[in-house]
Amino acid sequence: MLRSLLNQNPLTVAGIMSGTSLDGIDVAIVRIDGCGVDAKVRLLHFESFSYEEEVREKLKQLCSIDHSNVALLCGMNFAIAERFADAVLQTAAAAGMGMADIDLISTHGQTVWHIPVADETDPYLPKSTLQIGDLSVIAKRTGIPVVGDFRTADMAVGGQGAPLAPYGDFIMFRDAAKGRILQNIGGIGNCTAIPAQGTEEISNPAKESASVTATTHVDASNLIAFDTGPGNMIMDQVVYELSEGKLTYDADGAWAARGQVHIELLEEMLAHPYFAQLPPKTTGRELFGKAYTAAWLKTALDRGLAHEDIVATATAFTAYSIARAYQDFVFPHCAIAEVIVSGGGARNHTLLSMLQELLPQQAILTSDELGISGDAKEAILFALLGNDWIHGVPNNLPSATGAERPTIMGKLALP
């Protein structure tokens, strides 16, 4: 089975993504011709599956030091894997495909904790990361080889294990004529700044051979990529709390649109030390999760803010943190014409309007406007990462993660 995969091109890959927003599971079935920078991707079918509220709350517990426990962590590793497997089976069925039509499954897993920088005071807290959703469970349930657990390999060579999105951003969105920023707004916001004519910076030995070789690698040292800070994470939690669990997000940004941004509180939020750190840098629920949001929400309520003003201020926090990140770390080094937004935040019209107001010199677009589903984009990325693992191609970007060298990320589980 593995030998046939190694010699097969193109491949049909099911990419699975479940992000820090904890909203559910995305599955993209794609046809990939080639690998590395020359990969050509065609989306065959995409489905999204929402987590049940109980599952979402269990995952939030795992992402909290105060509420997690080893039994829950052990059990959820398998429980989430079962849901990943079922999501692939349902997506294949919806596409009119049998599992025999899928060559490979590639999964991000569900991040529950991420330590991008070692704790110098504790030798047992090195740079590390943990994603659950056991690969063997997915492989046995589906009958398909599974590649996953990508981030750990990048950390093993000195990287932060994130962000990984820039790899796919460069392959799918680079443009010879104009600089672009790819801004994903999931639970966390992450950006990839790609200078104009980035294609001329590529060294691709595969072009020198009639066949795809294991030396194909994306050489994108001119990229600037990092986590900008919270994406939907704080907004969603605030909406959940203020609605007493009736809402899980602010649809279209309608609630925020009715409120006024509290500038003083916003500036206090933007003073968080994360925003002053130089890239490469990553963050997650360990900094901006439930505990952070609970403390901030209490402050806002204690100051007498109306609910709509609280939601507007949380939304502005995401917009301002993104815009200031560009002004501090991107614009001094790279001319940008377009900001292309994907992820759940791309559907928040109030958030996009705030971004456009803060970035008047750049066009704010969604990836859907360029023909690539913003909902499916990250699941497509993980299909690309799995495809490159099969071809033996390094699939990290040291310029984005801070790794010492390119490396092949991923582990394999056979059915």
Phi, psi of 191 (to 5 degrees): -125, 150
Contacts made by residues 57-61, CB under 8 angstroms, sequence distance 24+: 59/22, 59/110, 59/112, 60/22, 60/289, 60/290
Closest CA to 335 of 362, 366, 369, 304: 362
Residues ≥6 apart with Cβ < 8 Å to 94: 45, 47
Residue 220, pLDDT score: 65
Alpha-carbon dihedral 278, 284, 286, 290, rounded to 10 degrees: 130
Query: CA dist 322 to 16, 26, 211, 325, Å?
Result: 26, 24, 41, 5
Closest CA to 266 of 191, 319, 340, 343: 319
Residue 221, pLDDT score: 66
Residues ≥6 apart with Cβ < 8 Å to 172: 41, 372, 377, 380
Could you tell me the sign of the dihedral formed by the alpha carbons of 104, 168, 236, 346, in that order? negative
Q: DSSP code of 181?
A: E
CA distance 407 to 154: 7
Task: Tell me which amino acid residue 228 is.
Answer: T
Q: DSSP code of 113?
A: E
Is 405 exposed, middle or buried (CB count within 10 Å of its CB: 0-12, 13-18, 19+)?
Answer: exposed
190 contacts 182 by C-beta, under 8 angstroms: no
Residues ≥6 apart with Cβ < 8 Å to 179: 193, 194, 195, 196, 334, 335, 336, 337, 338
Residue 214, pLDDT score: 38
CA distance 174 to 219: 13
Alpha-carbon dihedral 244, 246, 248, 254, rounded to 10 degrees: -100
Residues ≥6 apart with Cβ < 8 Å to 413: 135, 136, 138, 139, 145, 146, 147, 148
Count other C-beta atoms under 10 Å from residue 310's C-beta: 25
Residue 195, pLDDT score: 92
Binding-site entries:
19-26
Q: Where are the alpha helices (DSSP H) in 219-375?
A: 233-242, 254-257, 263-270, 285-288, 290-302, 307-329, 349-358
**First and final C-alpha spacing in the chain:** 10
Helix axes 290-302, 307-329, angle to 10 degrees: 120
Residues in the chain: 415
Closest CA to 185 of 21, 310, 25: 21
Residue 285, pLDDT score: 85
For the chain, which ranges sit under pLDDT 70?
Answer: 197-221
**Longest Cα–Cα distance in the chain:** 68
Residue 148, pLDDT score: 98
Q: 204-222 burial string, b = 16+ CB within 10 Å, else e?
A: bebeeeeebbbebbbbbee
Binding-site entries for ATP:
19-26
Residue 19, pLDDT score: 82
Residues ≥6 apart with Cβ < 8 Å to 93: none
